[in-house]
Amino acid sequence: MNAEHHSSTIVGWREWVSLPGIGIPWIKAKLDTGARSSALHAYDIEETSDGERVRFKVRPWQRSLEDIVDVECPVHDRRRVRSSSGHSEDRIVVLLDVEIGGRRVAAETTLTERDQMDFRMLIGREALRQGFLVNPHKSFITGRAPKLVRRRNRDRA
């Protein structure tokens, strides 16, 4: 067997992930091999005066205002990103630890408004190539968030 294949974690096209470095234990993410970088729903995005750090808020639940997280972290990069609809926008990039199925990887993550999207987070191929194989026919292979968390995501806690 190929050692590279043997060390990969098989994941579904959508998974519950955590962002331990910024205090988010559960967020539903789409794993998208068509996207280069990862993206996180963020708002009230403000850079510090020196441009070295960024402050923003994350609302991890799709239909709820509960558990909003205030974040401040270093700016990793700035990029022009084109969405699947062809719209381009300049985005701040931060480096976040993402945990999927017990495996933690660093992900270059752009900050953007994703309120109209089905997923608060998108995990792109730069993060996925660090040891994940995506099975497009499966969802939540690595497990589900606890029932109370899933209900909160649907605003039925």
| 157 pLDDT above the threshold of 60 | no
Q: Which two tokens stand for residue 135?
A: 């099975």
pLDDT exceeding 70 applies to what percent of the chain? 90
DSSP code for 142: T
| 1 pLDDT above the threshold of 50 | no
Q: Which two tokens stand for residue 78?
A: 């700035």
Check residue 155 and give its pLDDT.
54
Check residue 60 and give its pLDDT.
86
Q: Which two tokens stand for residue 57?
A: 């808020």
pTM of the model: 0.86
Check residue 97 and give its pLDDT.
97
Check residue 156 and give its pLDDT.
47
Burial of 3 (0-12, 13-18, 19+ CB in 10 A): exposed
